[in-house]
Amino acid sequence: MPNFRKYNYNQDSMVVINFEEQLQPNTFEYTLHRLIEEHIDLSAFYDHYKNDEGGRSAYDPAILLKIVLFAYSKGITSSREIQWQCEHNIIFKALSCDLVPHFTSIASFISRYPEAIEDVFTQVLLVCNEQGLLGNKLFAIDGCKMSSNAAKEHSGT
């Protein structure tokens, strides 16, 4: 019988990770990160924050935008799932600098700035499309619900 090295997937490991190196050039997440850090005006998100002279530090809207928009690009819309991704997915960890916002903070951010988030997402998608990073995938950003002819017991609503 062959002698193979033993392995176990059910184990923890301490690994040194440079988050910047996880965001590879010519990928959607890298472009998202660079656009939000260097090119997109985020002043529309700053009006709500009134903790200059005291209070708890808030999550930077740039971080929240990165994880929310990356999640949306992957079809993830649940704030609980976004929180889970920030805890376990290396790309989410890199985009958030290993911050893990609570799902209520994520949901509150999304519900407070729906138009501004959509505007930023549109800008990011346009730039990524120009660079050929979208791969002809379907992105739906309006959340439009369509009526149907199906009976309630078949459609669920």
Per-residue pLDDT tens over the stretch 41-78:
888 888 777 777 777 788 889 999 999 999 988 989 99
pLDDT for 47 equals 79
The answer to whether the CB of 141 falls within 8 A of the CB of 89 is no
The predicted model scores a pTM of 0.74
Q: Which residues, given as ranges, of the chain have pLDDT below 50?
A: none
Confidence at residue 2, expressed as pLDDT on a 0 to 100 scale: 87
